[in-house]
Amino acid sequence: MISFFVQGEPKGQPRPRASTFRNGGRPRIFDPGTAENWKSLIAYEAKAFEAHFPIEGPIGIAIDFSFARPKVHFRFLRGIVAGLKLTAPTWKEAKPDIDNLLKAVMDALTQVGAWRDDAQVCEATVRKRFTEEKQGAQITIEPLAAARPATPELFS
């Protein structure tokens, strides 16, 4: 099992865009690159485990994305933070979408050679929540037993 924390603001993989400039009558497709810094942080932290790469066979990945709380989640007394409001949510329901966050992590791990192909990932557990601590992502990767039976209870 490999587990590491990537500190920084998690970013989702953006959708490819088509430019208005036409090259030979066809629009040019490009990646906006807004997640490149985040993906390079993931790659940097993952390289500490490159002696264990590439992982062979089926793989499971668990990612816990932690986002900084906005100021509206806190109570203030005379300009000093006096704690969380009772109405402050635990889960981040707003963007970035969880599938785009997962895609950015998997793309970065593919580029660093954690596995031969991200199609090897057969199980993923992903959460996005608010935190008062460091924002970032705790990433855990482990090989799955080839003969392990599938469990119908995903959240048990």
Tokens linked to 12 = 């989702």
Look at residue 145 in the predicted model and tell me its pLDDT. 83
Question: Is 2-143 a CATH 3.30.1330.70 domain?
Answer: yes
CA torsion through residues 38, 136, 129, 68, sign? negative
Q: For position 139, what pLDDT does the model report?
A: 98
Which residues of the chain form beta strands (DSSP E)? 2-7, 17-23, 26-30, 59-68, 74-77, 80-84, 121-131, 136-143
pTM of the model: 0.83
Which pLDDT value is given to residue 6? 98
Specify the pLDDT at position 12.
94
pLDDT tens digits, the chain, 156 residues: what are they? 999 999 999 999 987 656 666 566 667 655 556 789 999 999 999 999 999 999 999 999 999 999 999 999 999 999 898 999 999 999 999 999 999 999 999 999 999 999 999 999 999 999 999 999 999 999 999 999 865 566 666 555
Q: Give 45's DSSP letter.
A: H
Distances (CA, A) of 73 to 48, 82, 85, 133, 148: 36, 11, 6, 14, 42
What pLDDT was estimated at residue 69?
96
Token pair 């906006």 is found at 32
